[in-house]
Structure 1
């Protein structure tokens, strides 16, 4: 049973992001390099926030303190990675096999870097929980909810998708100097992270409802930032593959 729970939660949290990686990134080595680099930047932000948490001894037991500064460090390194990509854009244009992969559509860079941030964030937040869930029994929840693992997996999936969408919004906002979108990304990241503090009191339903509502709002904004509209959505929903009709003369 524990093995089934392990694989079920793993597929719930990482199934859609890995499918996104396989379909949109795996075939392009440049995109893979960019995703790995963005994941490294997220790791560095985690390292610096951990050092700050370790240095400020009186606030080690205050969870909100570490959470807030972790969010700010992540967004700071998202900005630094954006600046690095813009500096390296000419070099990427030279080594890219197809120019449209990297240079003509900057939203691809934002999407790939956001997914790298999200996958690394998700791995760090859930791997330890999954390791404890493999058996021989389930992890000690201290009279907690039996749905803890499923809730953790669903939360991880939400954050991976949010990081991906935040990357698109953040990069586009910096390209077009739309300040409110930058503020939205930072504020949404901060609010979403703070909502997870409700899990301390086992308010899992409130946590999931809150973060997935933010995900819906973020998805809508990302859709508009990427150039989507109601007309394009309708055309996409109404699209049908062309069929060939063979007519045989008698």
Structure 2
């Protein structure tokens, strides 16, 4: 979570410098700012992976059997979940504040589904960060540049789709589909299978 906050700070400084140097705040600059924020988040995820790997080696050297007490997949899941929760909190806080204030949303013709759509988008963002964490760490472990590129590409796509709001049919639908597909990908990456799901449901 702290690493994500550092990436947010870096993105804020980048945006401030871009506005200062260009003297404008048009759509193109906003798109570049969003893309830069995504890249910084993924760089932060990579830095988190490197730090956790170093800590994992330290724990392994201290253990009696030479093995780390924490599995890499568990670290990936916890890291992704912390990224997602922190990102979701920052995404939804201002919206929750507006919902408690005077009823201004919709007064200028805004969608009445603003709050419920924002909740679904935040949910998708939390899940996506969790899935991306699992996939990203696995790709780093196996040195698969393709997996890293797909994580970055899907993150950029998700961020770009939010610019289609308030046309929620064009943004929310594809993001939820992307969340489902990424979840299946992460499940497969973590070693999951349909057979394992059946065993879990049958309590065997």
Q: What TM-score, normalized by structure 2, do the two folds share?
A: 0.89
Q: Which runs of structure 2 are paired with 1:216-231 in the superposition (5 Å)? A: 216-231=180-195
Q: Distance in 1 between matches of 2:110 and 2:146?
A: 40
1:185 alignment partner, one of 140, 143, 151 = 151
Aligned residue number for residue 114 of structure 1: 80
Query: Do the aligned partners of residues 95 and 121 (structure 1) sit closer, same or farther apart at CA in structure 2, a change above 3 Å counting?
Result: farther
Q: Distance in 1 between matches of 2:116 and 2:35?
A: 25
1:128-153: per-residue Cα shift (whole Å, max 9, x none)?
A: 11011113435466210011011011
Q: CA deviation at 1:95?
A: 8.6
Q: Distance in 1 between matches of 2:59 and 2:108?
A: 51
Structure 2 portions without partners, runs of 5+: none
1:121-172: per-residue Cα shift (whole Å, max 9, x none)?
A: 1111110110111134354662100110110111001000000010000001
Q: Distance in 2 between matches of 1:94 and 1:156?
A: 40
1:209-239: per-residue Cα shift (whole Å, max 9, x none)?
A: 11011111101111110001222223233x1
Residue correspondences, number: 197
1:67 alignment partner, one of 18, 24, 34 = 34
Q: What TM-score, normalized by structure 1, do the two folds share?
A: 0.73
Larger Rg: 1
Query: Do the aligned partners of residues 126 and 94 (structure 1) sit closer, same or farther apart at CA in structure 2, a change above 3 Å counting?
Result: farther
Q: CA RMSD in A?
A: 2.2
User: Do the aligned residues in 2 keep the contact of 1:111 with 1:164 (CA within 8 Å)?
Assistant: yes
Structure 1 portions without partners, runs of 5+: 1-38, 242-250
2:10 alignment partner, one of 30, 37, 48 = 48
Q: CA deviation at 1:104?
A: 4.8
Q: CA deviation at 1:88?
A: 1.2
Q: CA deviation at 1:90?
A: 3.5
Query: Do the aligned partners of residues 141 and 150 (structure 1) sit closer, same or farther apart at CA in structure 2, a change above 3 Å counting?
Result: farther
Aligned residue number for residue 172 of structure 1: 138
Aligned residue number for residue 174 of structure 2: 210
Aligned residue number for residue 145 of structure 1: 111
1:78 alignment partner, one of 45, 50, 64 = 45
Q: CA deviation at 1:66?
A: 1.0
